[in-house]
Amino acid sequence: LDYLTQRGHSIAHCPRSNRYLGCGRLAIEDLDLPYSLATDGLSSNDSLSILDELRAALMLHNDIPIQELALRLLKTVTTDAAEILRLNCGKIAVNKLADFAVITLPETPKREEELALWTILHTKEVSEVYIEGKKHV
Listed in order, strand segments (DSSP E) in 17-99 are 35-37
Residue partners of 78: CB distance under 8 A and separation at least 6 = 90, 91
* Sign for the pseudo-dihedral over CA of 41, 92, 117, 9: positive
The CATH fold assigned to 2-135 is TIM Barrel (3.20.20)
Amino acid at 87: L
* pLDDT 10s digits, 64-122: 999 999 999 999 999 999 999 999 999 999 999 999 999 999 999 999 999 999 999 99
The model carries a pTM of: 0.90
pLDDT at residue 57 in the model: 96
* pLDDT 10s digits, 7-59: 989 999 999 999 999 988 899 998 889 999 999 889 899 999 999 999 999 99
* Sign for the pseudo-dihedral over CA of 118, 122, 123, 127: negative
Distance CA 123, CA 106 (A): 9
